[in-house]
Amino acid sequence: MLQRVLSTAIFGEGLEVPSVFASLTPGHILVLAIKNDAAQNLSKESRRLLYRLGVLSVGTLDKREYLAWVGIIGGPAWAEARTLDAEVELGMVWASGVTLDVLVPRVLHDSSCLGERRGFRETARARFCSLYDGYGSLCSCPTPAPLVYEPPELEGNSIMDVPLLILASNRPNYLYRNLVTVLRQAGASRDRILVLVDGHYQQVTDLLNLLQVQYEVRTAWGVTVGARISDQYRYALSLVFRRFPQASKAILLEEDLICLGVWDLDTRAHHRGLFRFFFYDTEVLVIGYPFSDYSFLKPPWLSMLEVNKTEEVEKLNLMPLTHRSRFRRPALERSVPFLDVPAPVFF
């Protein structure tokens, strides 16, 4: 079973909606709830995706309105409910709650194609996929993703003795995406990967055992979040060189692969593209250029990555400023192919 909370009220968080739905297993029951300010920044692409799934009223859902939906991935919709409060249009109050009482026929999911695959690891895969969801091709029939990757050799490899330490917590779907992305890279080696898990989470350890990736479980200490993070990083650096005593350097990653270390404290996304964090006791403001409305503050002498080809510039000018493709860097994306997840297709 997969449980996910997507804070689409925060600008940009809705970009994850397509990849989450693409990872779900067809035939499974989906219980969906949209509440509070989630509809405020829910993109048109996400609304169209949900409509194709069978959520009929998502196209007109406004902020602070509630919606509940129950259906089958790739199958029928069983029930849908939505609040319509006139006062909500003024933006001053919250909508009333939604109560949905649904009886769904109990049908055993057919996972026989995974069970028919021979071998101890395939048996472990079938058991894993019967317990958990959200792993996309890992549990897809009849051609699931491989459990062992054999990437090509890296020409002029200078990191053969450099271990990779991944810091993880209770986000197994992110961790799987991270591991698959790393294991597919040229010169990658599973023997040089070590995962440090902050706390014991059964799904995380089951995933690592399935992929046969070495790991260690430890609960970080500290009163504050910052103290816990510092404690875990300090232990991680000590751990990686104990496990790999011949290494003179190491690579550290967090499980989500795209963590910037910047917290957007504007939870309502009113200051689009403005981020704030603290470096020691100094408050630092980061402006996403040219995405942010504050891009005009960029000093004229500061150079940025540019698109030089005329046809590329003309193509970009046809896109709105909120379109993600305006800021994609293909040269970088080629190194993380698993992050480019296509939108799901529902029949």
Kindly report the average pLDDT of the chain as a whole number.
76
pLDDT value at 328 more than 60? no
Distance spanning both ends of the chain, measured CA to CA: 22
Residue 174 burial class via C-beta count within 10 angstroms: exposed 0-12, middle 13-18, buried 19 and up: middle
Instruction: Yes or no: say if 215 and 196 are a contact pair by the CB < 8 Å rule.
Output: yes
Instruction: Yes or no: say if 125 and 206 are a contact pair by the CB < 8 Å rule.
Output: no
DSSP letter for 117, please: S
Instruction: Yes or no: say if 74 and 44 are a contact pair by the CB < 8 Å rule.
Output: no
Could you report the per-residue pLDDT of 219-267, keeping only the tens digit for each?
A: 988 878 778 888 888 899 899 999 999 988 888 888 876 444 444 444 4
Over range 111-140, report the average pLDDT: 79
pLDDT at 217: 95
Higher pLDDT, 109 or 4: 4
Higher pLDDT, 37 or 307: 37
Q: For residues 341 and 17, what is the distance between their CA atoms, to the nearest angstrom? A: 11
pLDDT at 259: 42
Instruction: Yes or no: say if 15 and 323 are a contact pair by the CB < 8 Å rule.
Output: no
Instruction: Yes or no: say if 100 and 79 are a contact pair by the CB < 8 Å rule.
Output: yes
Angle among Cα 330, 331, 335 to the nearest 5 degrees reads 100
Domain ranges within the chain, ordered by starting residue? 13-90, 111-148, 164-254, 274-339
pLDDT at 185: 86
Q: What's the topology of domain 164-254? A: Spore Coat Polysaccharide Biosynthesis Protein SpsA; Chain A (3.90.550)
Over range 284-297, report the average pLDDT: 72
pLDDT value at 335 more than 50? no
pTM of the model: 0.65
pLDDT value at 103 more than 50? yes
pLDDT value at 330 more than 70? no
pLDDT at 344: 46
Confidence of residue 312 (pLDDT cuts 50, 70, 90): low
pLDDT at 337: 42
Q: For residues 49 and 55, what is the distance between their CA atoms, to the nearest angstrom? A: 9
pLDDT at 156: 79
pLDDT at 239: 93
